[in-house]
Amino acid sequence: MDFMPDAPISSAPPTATDRQADTQGSREAELQSQLDQARAEAQLTLEQLQRVQEELEHYFLAHEEAAAKLERFGEEQRRAEALIDALLARIEARGS
């Protein structure tokens, strides 16, 4: 065994303060690990939320476009019905 003059020689058992420091260091490492995991989960959740928001915006815009088309088609149908009614009235007037 090599002698290392700079290394502290400790033959005494760890004190309560040493054990408390080790426990606190271990607890801090565990808390840091939990914090890192929570941050990673939060980042993943945020990314998923952004994707869902983009998808909702897509469907909302598609719905708005479909609603506008439906309104235009309804107007065209009413106009066509009015023209048909006018033509039928002319035809009936000629036949009388």
**pLDDT under 50: residue ranges of the chain:** 1
Q: Answer positive or negative: Cα dihedral of 32, 35, 41, 42.
A: negative
What does the pLDDT read at residue 23? 82
What does the pLDDT read at residue 17? 72
What does the pLDDT read at residue 7? 54
What does the pLDDT read at residue 18? 64
What does the pLDDT read at residue 53? 98
**Contacts for 22 with CB less than 8 Å, ≥ 6 apart:** 14
Torsion, Cα of 21, 25, 26, 32 (10° steps): 160
